[in-house]
Amino acid sequence: MNESGFIFDLDGVIVDTAKYHYLAWKKLADQLGFEFTEEQNERFKGVSRRRCLEILLELGEITVSQQQFDAWLIEKNEDYLTYIEKMDESEILPDVPKILHFLKEKNIPMALGSASKNARPILEKVKLLPYFDAIVDGKQVTKAKPDPEVFLIASQMLKVAPGNCVVFEDAVAGIEAANRAGMTSIGIGEQDVLSQAKYNFKDFTEIDLEFIEQLIRTK
Ligand code: BG6
Ligand code: MG
């Protein structure tokens, strides 16, 4: 077993793709004739594509056939893909490479723990794939966050006990999943939204390397 491991969510933690998910869902809501606000979008963070569409249709009070539902899922993803196609390293969130590099130098095992089925191509586009020893994404997970499954699979793949794993998350559902997995949760974003996290930071620029050292030492 390794002593400590670090798990990163992707969307909204490593890259600012949350805005692209929002734009793609908003386009569908516009098409269906109802408003979809950024505040409502908080509920979509960390949540599977399918569940997001269910929530969107609840918000718009729309019921549809299974066939239409599946067609909209495809349509949303195609819109989303047009945004991520153009991504490059410039879309990595500030100071993320600094932290990844620091952990890599210390040979600390790292995993991605994301609900997204597009996680691998995004990591490739922004050239961060080589940092990760394990990738757990929406293709492997059967139970979406807030279920702890995604992070428990990551901990097994890293060979690090859940209690020795640290999770960076920007979603309420993700913080709950990390807490339920018995891991140290770090909220990246607004503290009042992510109040259940063990530690809170607005973004990675607020995290110093001494704090990371301390996390490694105490795991
Ligand atoms: C999560 C996002 O990382 O991935 C959610 O926070 C998104 O908003 C989910 O719905 C699924 O992503 P994808 O790329 O498989 O549609
Ligand atoms: Mg996220």
**Ligand 1 in contact with 145 (CB < 6 A)?**
no
Q: How far apart are CA 106 and CA 113, in angstroms?
A: 21
Q: Which atom of ligand 1 is nearest to the CA of 11?
A: 3
Over its length of 219 residues, how does the chain's per-residue pLDDT go in tens digits?
669 999 999 999 999 999 999 999 999 999 999 999 999 998 999 999 999 999 999 999 999 999 999 999 999 999 999 999 999 999 999 999 999 999 999 999 999 999 999 999 999 999 999 999 999 999 999 998 999 999 999 999 999 999 999 999 999 999 999 999 999 999 999 999 999 999 999 999 999 999 999 999 987
Tokens of 120: 């691998």
CB 195 within 8 A of CB 38: no
The amino acid occupying position 194 is L
CB-ligand 1 contact for 44 (6 Å cutoff) = yes
Query: Per this entry, what is the length of the chain?
Result: 219
Nearest CA residue ID for atom 8, ligand 1: 45
Dihedral sign for Cα atoms in the order 204, 207, 213, 217 = negative
Q: Flag whether the pTM goes above 0.85.
A: yes
Ligand showing the shortest atom-to-Cα distance for residue 136: 1
The catalytic residue positions are 9, 11
- Tell me the HSE value of 72 on the side-chain side, using a 13 A CA sphere: 24
Whether ligand 1 lies within 6 angstroms of the CB of 128 is answered as no
**Ligand 2 centre and the CA of 217: distance in Å?**
26
> To test ligand 1's pocket by mutation, which of 19, 41, 48 has the most ligand atoms within 8 angstroms of CB?
48
Measured in Å, residue 187 CA sits from the centre of ligand 1 at: 17
114 CB under 6 A from ligand 1? yes
- Nearest Cα neighbor of 188 from 4, 48, 16 is 16
